[in-house]
Amino acid sequence: MAAHEQSPDRYPEHIPVLRDAFVDALFSDPDGYYVDCTFGRGGHSRALLARLSDKGRLLAIDRDSEAVAAGEKLASEDGRFIIRHSDFAQLEKTLENEGWEQVTGIGFDLGVSSPQVDNAARGFSFRHDGPLDMRMDTGSGLPLSSMLAHVSERDLIDVLRNFGDERYARRIAAAILKAFHARTLHSTSDLENICFHAVPKQARYGKTHPATRSFQALRIWVNGEMDQIDAGIAAAMSHLQPGGKLAVISFHSGEDRRIRDLIEAQVHACICPPEMPVCVCGRRPTMRWLQKKPLRADEQELAANPRSRSSMLRVAQRLSDTEAKKLAGYSGDPLMCGELH
Ligand SMILES: C[S@@+](CC[C@H](N)C(=O)[O-])C[C@H]1O[C@@H](n2cnc3c(N)ncnc32)[C@H](O)[C@@H]1O
């Protein structure tokens, strides 16, 4: 069997990252309604189901149909569990379709799963030779090869910088597009080789492979991951019941900053200029931080699962209306909420 044709069943393993911390953060009520927005192979979902009563429910989504197929198997064995093929951008609609207006907890474990990375045919990894694809949902969007056909060098530099913090973005972008238009870039091995030779010699043999950041950046670009995060986190925060919790695991600083800012905008909702003595914008906070400084994997987890190395967990909680008014020092006047700066 060619590398590109490997069966997905050969890669069932995914060790859930920060599993106990994630589930502890989300869980509050055994009878509650929970959402796992990144089912993967269900490590977090199973740990959450273990804490639910017969009345509790868990809805999981994933944009990858192989993950959804794994979820369907779990759904057939456990009546409290529902899986849907959906993405963060459609979370609002998915919750509406299920009639889930307010939920007890919503969790995100961002990025790709081990079965996705380890299956060469998906084109995510520079360690296996595969096609230039990188889509999590192979049924929609454009594969990397088509995206490269239409991108300018300037935009590709921005992709590598913004989504990969790649220091050598300019050199790598130029080399990728030169090879692509010369028809010598066909596979992930070609791409790995191009990244390797595009960086200066002294940067080729460091702790991380010189293609690591570029592969991450290209994957984020192909899957529109930042827009997905914006839509998903916004929908999640607006569907939490008072006291409901949001837990997000991310794997790189760009993602983590985005999540921090989206939550922070709801924690400090007031947009009045600092020179105003009291708030006049009337915007009230809707969330509070429970874990503002990202929680990281401990030594034991790092030793057992190297993938946990860059994981960061942030947790926030939806305020009740009364708490929100109290925090904003609400005066009763909708135009003068009275929050002191
Ligand atoms: C890190 S894995 C999750 C692993 C999972 N927590 C487990 O324990 O098995 C991320 C999963 O989220 C999915 N995913 C990533 N972005 C998504 C999005 N925008 N919408 C829906 N699913 C997404 C990926 O397809 C992948 O299966």
Considering the domain architecture, whether residues 234 and 268 belong to the same structural domain is answered as: yes
CA distance 54 to 46: 14
pLDDT tops 60 at residue 331? no
Considering the domain architecture, whether residues 243 and 295 belong to the same structural domain is answered as: yes
Tracing tokens 């069932």 back to the chain, one arrives at 12
Does residue 135 form part of some domain?
no
Average pLDDT over the chain reads: 92
Q: Tell me what the mean pLDDT of segment 297-303 comes to.
A: 96
Does residue 46 form part of some domain?
yes
Q: Tell me what the mean pLDDT of segment 109-130 comes to.
A: 96
Which residues are near ligand 1 (CB < 6 Å)? Answer: 14, 16, 38, 40-44, 61-64, 67, 87-88, 109, 111-113, 136, 228
- Distance from the CA of 182 to the center of ligand 1, in angstroms? 35
Considering the domain architecture, whether residues 235 and 104 belong to the same structural domain is answered as: yes
Residue 95: which domain range? 3-114+225-274+283-322
Domain harbouring 8, CATH code: 3.40.50.150
The proportion of the chain whose per-residue pLDDT surpasses 90, expressed as a percent, equals 83
Last residue of a domain, one of 178, 200, 222: 222
Q: Tell me what the mean pLDDT of segment 16-44 comes to.
A: 98
- Distance from the CA of 315 to the center of ligand 1, in angstroms? 18
Does residue 229 form part of some domain?
yes
- Distance from the CA of 39 to the center of ligand 1, in angstroms? 6
Instruction: Return the pLDDT at 330.
Output: 52
Instruction: Return the pLDDT at 8.
Output: 42
Does residue 10 form part of some domain?
yes
Instruction: Return the pLDDT at 278.
Output: 82
DSSP characters over 137-197? STTSS--HHHHHHH--HHHHHHHHHHHH--TTHHHHHHHHHHHHHTT---BHHHHHHHHHH
Considering the domain architecture, whether residues 107 and 18 belong to the same structural domain is answered as: yes
Considering the domain architecture, whether residues 78 and 39 belong to the same structural domain is answered as: yes
- Distance from the CA of 97 to the center of ligand 1, in angstroms? 21
Q: Tell me what the mean pLDDT of segment 238-250 comes to.
A: 98
Minimum CA distance residue for ligand 1 atom 4: 40
Considering the domain architecture, whether residues 105 and 234 belong to the same structural domain is answered as: yes
Considering the domain architecture, whether residues 8 and 97 belong to the same structural domain is answered as: yes
Lowest mean pLDDT among 38-42, 87-91, 267-271, 277-281: 277-281
Considering the domain architecture, whether residues 168 and 314 belong to the same structural domain is answered as: no
Last residue of a domain, one of 201, 222, 243: 222
Minimum CA distance residue for ligand 1 atom 8: 43
Domain harbouring 211, CATH code: 1.10.150.170
Instruction: Return the pLDDT at 329.
Output: 57
Instruction: Return the pLDDT at 9.
Output: 47
Does residue 74 form part of some domain?
yes
- Distance from the CA of 5 to the center of ligand 1, in angstroms? 22
Minimum CA distance residue for ligand 1 atom 12: 38
CA distance 50 to 61: 18
Does residue 127 form part of some domain?
no
pLDDT digits (tens, 9 = 90+) for 136-171: 999 999 999 999 999 999 999 999 999 999 999 999
Residue 313, number of CB atoms within 10 A of its CB? 21
pLDDT tops 60 at residue 336? no
Tracing tokens 């009563």 back to the chain, one arrives at 53
Backbone φ, ψ for residue 7 (5° rounding): -75, 140
Q: Is there a contact between 190 and 179 (Cβ–Cβ < 8 Å)?
A: yes
Instruction: Identify the bridge partners of residue 248 per DSSP, sorted by sequence position.
Output: 108, 314
Residue 101 pLDDT level (bands cut at 50, 70, 90): very high
pLDDT tops 70 at residue 341? no
Does residue 126 form part of some domain?
no
Considering the domain architecture, whether residues 288 and 245 belong to the same structural domain is answered as: yes
Does residue 53 form part of some domain?
yes
Instruction: Return the pLDDT at 1.
Output: 36
Considering the domain architecture, whether residues 61 and 163 belong to the same structural domain is answered as: no
Considering the domain architecture, whether residues 21 and 103 belong to the same structural domain is answered as: yes
Look up the pTM and report it: 0.92
Residue 283 pLDDT level (bands cut at 50, 70, 90): confident
Considering the domain architecture, whether residues 214 and 239 belong to the same structural domain is answered as: no
Report the domain count for the chain: 2
Q: Tell me what the mean pLDDT of segment 264-288 comes to.
A: 89
- Residue in 141, 292, 315, 134 with CA at minimum distance from that of residue 233: 315
Minimum CA distance residue for ligand 1 atom 21: 87
pLDDT digits (tens, 9 = 90+) for 177-186: 999 999 999 9
Lowest mean pLDDT among 22-26, 252-256, 335-339: 335-339
